[in-house]
A and B are shown apart, each in its own frame.
Chain A
Amino acid sequence: MNPLPRFFTFAAPSRFYWLAGLLLPWLYLLAGALAAAGLYIGFFLAPTDATQGDAYRIIFIHVPVAWMSMVLYLAMAGWAALGWAFNARMASMLARAIAPTGAMFTFLALWTGAFWGKPTWGTWWVWDARLTSELILLFLYLGYMALVEAIDDVRRADLAGALLAVVGAVNVPIIYFSVRWWNTLHQGASISMTAAPKMVSTMLTSMLLMTLACWAYAFAVVFARARAIVLEREQSSEWVRALARPLSKVKL
């Protein structure tokens, strides 16, 4: 039969709410297991670096959170744009649910970067192209969050936020290619699709496991936040009202 309705099934807030609720505990569990494995390999199997000593172990968290900061921005801008173009409420709600987590990952990329920069470069911060563009990413996230909260009409807020998110997306390739376009203190890409990895396999394995852990974590937290947003926004819809009945019985 027609495959299209199935494709859009989870665009309905009610179905999303149900599916995300089902996945939530497994995503948290997966994040924990992947992080445990990644940290074990990173701290107990990966050797000490010849030039940086043990300070380099920050890479196992720094690179994954920095990747997440960029990926989540693109995801946020993408959902915001879909919500705008197709007038899809769930897409706009997802965009809003991603923003705080993206901002957190951006802050953590800057923080862990500072804690890595101090022992290796001798400074916490430098106005280098990579660091500065990542800081701008944090401001874009915060600006998006402030903008959508400042407008009372939620759909108008969604559209204004989408415009900001989409325009701000130009910053992501700037961050990514900054180490190539400009002379930066920040080192070049750690992982490249076209060249052999520049690190030993235990280091690479740890970093990739930590990246997967961050993905699972991000999915879990974004889904959880999106579920809360669905309830907050769709209070008047029939299915959300139906949801309140058994719950209030349990409480009273």
Chain B
Amino acid sequence: MMWNSVGDFFAMGGYGLYVWGSYGVVAAWMALEPWLVTRRHALAVRALDELHADEQEFSSGGLV
């Protein structure tokens, strides 16, 4: 093992800010983006549901 302790690992030989500053931002974006696209899909499904419900109401002679 190259690292003597957990602190040693996070220090990255004095380059911790740069190494974790890179990986942290990448990880944050790669967590955010799947959440955003999943939400967009869910919203599209909901819009479709509402559209369909409106059509049913309309065709069954309900509220226009």
Contact = CB atoms under 8 A, between A and B. Distances in A.
A247 interface: yes
A87 interface: no
B13 A111 contact: no
B26 A61 contact: yes
Interface of A: 28, 43-44, 47-48, 53-55, 57-58, 61-62, 65, 100-101, 104, 107-108, 111-112, 115-116, 118-119, 217, 220-221, 224-225, 227-228, 231-232, 235, 240-241, 243-245, 247-248, 251-252
A118 B3 CA distance: 24
Contact of B51 (A58, A116, A228, A235): A235
Given A55-B15, A247-B48, A247-B49, 15 more contacts: A48-B2, A58-B18, A104-B33, A118-B18, A119-B18, A220-B34, A224-B38, A228-B40, A232-B47, A235-B47, A235-B48, A244-B49, A247-B45, A248-B52, A248-B53
A161 B7 CA distance: 49
B15 A53 contact: yes
B2 A55 contact: no
A84 B33 CA distance: 27
Contacts of A225: 37, 40-41
Nearest to A226: B37
A55 B18 contact: yes
Given A101-B33, A224-B37, A244 B52 contact: yes
23 contacts: A28-B34, A43-B9, A44-B2, A48-B13, A54-B19, A55-B19, A57-B19, A58-B18, A58-B23, A61-B23, A65-B26, A104-B29, A107-B29, A108-B25, A111-B25, A118-B18, A224-B34, A225-B37, A225-B41, A231-B48, A235-B48, A244-B52, A247-B48
B53 A62 contact: no
Interface string B7-32: 00100111100110111011001100
